[in-house]
Amino acid sequence: MITGLAHAELIAVLAAVTGDAPRVMTVQGGFALPSGPFELGHRSLQAGLREWVGDQTGHPIGYLEQLYTFADRDRTDEATGRTISISYLGLVREQAAPGAGRPGWHGWYDYFPWEDHRQGRPKILDGIAARLTEWAGAEPKRRDLRQRRVDFTFGLSGAAWNEDLVLQRYELMYEAGLVAEAGGAAHPAGGRPMFADHRRILATGIARLRAKIKYRPVVFELMPENFTLLQLQRSVEALAGLTLHKPNFRRLIDQQELIEETGETTSGTGGRPAKLFRYRHAVLEERAMSGTKLPLSRN
| Residues found near DNA in the complex (CB under 7 A) | 228-230, 245-248, 250-252, 265, 267, 269-275, 291-293, 295-298
- Count of residues for the chain? 299
How far is the C-alpha of 205 from the C-alpha of 14, rounded, in Å? 9
Sheet holding 259-266, edge to edge: 226-227, 274-279, 259-266
How far is the C-alpha of 259 from the C-alpha of 254, rounded, in Å? 7
Min dist CB 66 to a copy of itself, Å, is 6
Asked if 267 touches a copy of itself (CB under 8 A), the answer is no
Cα Rg of the chain (Å, integer): 21
Which of 5, 77, 78, 95 touches a copy of itself by CB under 8 A? 5
Q: Which does 124 bind (CB under 5 to 8 A by kind): DNA, a copy of itself, none?
A: none
Min dist CB 231 to DNA, Å, is 7
Binders of a copy of itself: how many residues, by CB under 8 A?
67
How far is the C-alpha of 236 from the C-alpha of 20, rounded, in Å? 9
Fill in the per-residue mask, 41 to 70: x = in contact with a copy of itself (CB under 8 A), - = not in contact. Answer: -xxxx--------------------x-xxx
Is 253:180 a contact under the CB 8 Å cutoff?
no
Is 28:195 a contact under the CB 8 Å cutoff?
yes
Smaller CB separation from DNA, 56 or 266: 266
* Phi and psi angles of residue 118, each rounded to the nearest 5 degrees, phi first: -75, -30
Smaller CB separation from a copy of itself, 63 or 249: 249
Min dist CB 166 to a copy of itself, Å, is 12
Q: Which does 141 bind (CB under 5 to 8 A by kind): a copy of itself, DNA, none?
A: none
Asked if 252 touches a copy of itself (CB under 8 A), the answer is yes
Smaller CB separation from DNA, 28 or 265: 265
Category of 19 on φ-ψ map: left (φ > 0), alpha (ψ -120 to 50) or beta: left
Q: Which residues contact 23 (CB under 8 A, 6 or more apart)?
A: 15, 16, 17, 94, 105, 106, 107, 108
Strand, helix or coil for residue 3: coil
Is 286:280 a contact under the CB 8 Å cutoff?
no
Binding segment for a copy of itself among 21-29, 52-60, 164-172, 269-277 (CB under 8 A)?
164-172
Interacting residues toward a copy of itself by CB under 8 A:
2-9, 37-40, 42-45, 66, 68-73, 80-82, 84, 86, 117, 120, 145, 148-149, 152-153, 162-165, 168, 211, 213-215, 236, 240, 242-246, 248-249, 251-252, 285-288, 290, 292-297, 299
